[in-house]
Amino acid sequence: MNLQERINWFTEAFIGLSVGNIRNAFLRREALEELATRYAIPDQQAQPKKVGLVLAGNLPLVGFHDVLCTFLAGHIAYIKLSSKDAVLLPVLLDAAREWFPASSEHLIVSDRIANCDAYIATGSNNSSRYFEAYFGKYPHIIRKNRTSVAILNGNESAAELEKLADDICQYFGLGCRNVTQLWVPEGYDFEPLVRALDKYKELEHHNKFRNNYDYQLAMHILERRYYMTNGSVLLLEKESPFAPISQVHYQFYKNRADAESALANNDEIQCIVGEGHTPFGEAQCPAVDTFADGVDTLRFLLSL
């Protein structure tokens, strides 16, 4: 069984997208040097701590940033891989050991991560309760379910809407930085957006994605709900920012300030895309100093 058959959601294109962002954003020399200066990272950690990392597996190499931050802070990472992403990261770690042999002492893949000095664990709302029970007495960062939204003004260009399609459809919409809900002005014309989503029409040929689409479509038909679709992505009016695979929710606003206010303190939102926020097309291209859930991972690690 080849790699793509083992991790069916991890297509060659999306693996390449993840690796490209790691190369261009996380491992860019200038960015790392600036980070080291800004955080006053010591050349050597006087007392390196054992940090247990429980990695997510919803996207290819999604846990790399936590590994990188732990390494930059000079600590020892005990890495528990997700069963959904147990192949790609070890390949990168092998390369790191080849280029920098001393890294082998700081980057350790292990199924057992007991007796660490601190923990960073990423999972669902359900698994976070277990993480709290296991790791609560140690310094920790525990991440729950989050998703992302976009605020539209109705004047977006065709190019901007195509970039929004990236934010929605890259990685099949499985990431916490994928846009799963749109806030749109009353009277919004959805036709240009539906056309823009055709950029990812090929998703309809992916078996798992198509199964999800067919199921959601069948439920809407049976329940006689109003929906829109281009044949591969469904649009449904719903207040929840969380949407199932192949579906995007939308919500109308009377004025933009209402939308901004409603989203300002929503701890379920990872990222807001649109004017004044993350630019269209860049939701899945975070910088090395963009930290999940707004919690500064590097500052936490340096404080241990």
The residues that bridge with 118 in the sheet, in sequence order, are 51
Q: Indicate if 75 and 155 belong to the same structural domain.
A: no
Q: Which of 145, 171, 191 lies at the terminal end of a domain, its last residue?
A: 145
Q: Indicate if 259 and 230 belong to the same structural domain.
A: yes
Q: Calculate helix-pair angle for 29-38, 64-72, nearest 10 degrees.
A: 50
Could you tell me the residue range of the domain that residue 224 belongs to?
A: 147-273
Q: Indicate if 168 and 240 belong to the same structural domain.
A: yes
Task: Report how far Cα 256 is from the mean position of its chain's Cα atoms.
Answer: 26
Q: Indicate if 151 and 269 belong to the same structural domain.
A: yes
CA distance 166 to 303: 36
- Tokens 């990236």 sit on residue: 166
Per-residue pLDDT of the chain (304 residues; tens, 9 = 90+): 455 544 589 999 999 999 999 999 999 999 999 999 999 999 989 999 999 999 999 999 999 999 999 999 999 999 999 999 999 999 999 999 999 998 999 999 999 999 999 999 999 999 999 999 999 999 999 999 999 999 999 999 999 999 999 999 999 999 999 999 999 999 999 999 999 999 999 999 999 999 999 999 999 999 999 999 999 999 999 999 999 999 999 999 999 999 999 998 899 999 999 999 999 999 999 999 999 999 999 999 999 9
Q: Indicate if 111 and 10 belong to the same structural domain.
A: yes
Q: Indicate if 19 and 67 belong to the same structural domain.
A: yes
Q: Which of 124, 145, 166 lies at the terminal end of a domain, its last residue?
A: 145
Residue 101 placed within a domain? yes
Task: Report how far Cα 34 is from the mean position of its chain's Cα atoms.
Answer: 24
Q: Which amino acid appears at position 259 of this protein?
A: A
DSSP state letter for 56: -
Q: Indicate if 155 and 197 belong to the same structural domain.
A: yes
Residue 293 placed within a domain? no
User: Domain count of the chain?
Assistant: 2
Q: Provide the CATH number for the domain around residue 91.
A: 3.40.605.10
Q: What is each CA distance from 81 to 148, 209, 279, in whole angstroms?
A: 24, 24, 31
- What is the reported pLDDT for 3? 54
Residue 215 placed within a domain? yes
CA distance 162 to 202: 15
Which H or E run contains 80?
strand 76-80
Cα maximum dimension of the chain: 64
Q: Provide the CATH number for the domain around residue 222.
A: 3.40.309.10
Q: Indicate if 174 and 130 belong to the same structural domain.
A: no
